[in-house]
């Protein structure tokens, strides 16, 4: 069906949406369990060492990121990953000192 209607769908701006709606997402039990360990039901967010984060699968797809791959809780492998994680932790600490999250 895609080969027959691809050009029409692209002109209408719905080609990617149609492809996304037919995509089969395979479950990764390790990823689900790893993230579940970090879930906070009170804030409806994930609590990491560098702060809180909430993101949906739709957010990932809209942003153009792959929903496949390693868990964010996997051990850091490269120096760049380790450096980035350290910068996130430092920034979180600095922001905590500035009162950025306090109501006015």
Distance of CA 76 to the CA centre of its chain: 17
Q: What's the domain range around 67?
A: 27-98
Q: Check: CB of residue 38 under 8 Å from CB of residue 46.
A: yes
Q: Within a domain: residue 9?
A: no
- Domains identified in the chain, total number: 1
pLDDT (0 to 100) of residue 38: 92
Q: Check: CB of residue 7 under 8 Å from CB of residue 15.
A: no
Q: Within a domain: residue 10?
A: no
CA distance 71 to 86: 18
Q: What is the pLDDT of residues 14-70, one digit of tens each?
A: 888 888 888 777 888 898 898 889 999 898 889 998 889 888 888 877 877 767 777
Please, which pLDDT band fits residue 102 given cuts at 50, 70 and 90?
A: low
Q: Within a domain: residue 21?
A: no
The model's pTM is 0.34
DSSP code of residue 67: S
Please, which pLDDT band fits residue 103 given cuts at 50, 70 and 90?
A: low
CA distance 92 to 53: 12
Q: Within a domain: residue 1?
A: no
Q: Within a domain: residue 47?
A: yes
Say whether pLDDT at 104 is over 60: no
Say whether pLDDT at 95 is over 70: yes
pLDDT (0 to 100) of residue 101: 59
């Amino acid at each position: 069906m895609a080969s027959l209607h691809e050009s029409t769908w692209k002109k209408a701006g719905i080609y990617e949406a149609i492809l996304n709606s037919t995509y089969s997402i395979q479950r990764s039990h390790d990823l689900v369990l790893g993230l579940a360990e970090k879930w906070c039901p009170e804030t409806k967010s994930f609590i990491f060492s560098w702060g809180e984060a909430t993101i949906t699968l739709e957010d990932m797809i809209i942003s153009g990121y792959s929903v496949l791959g390693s868990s964010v809780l996997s051990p850091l492998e490269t120096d760049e990953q380790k450096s980035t994680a350290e910068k996130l932790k430092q920034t979180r600490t600095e922001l905590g000192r500035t009162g950025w999250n306090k109501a006015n």
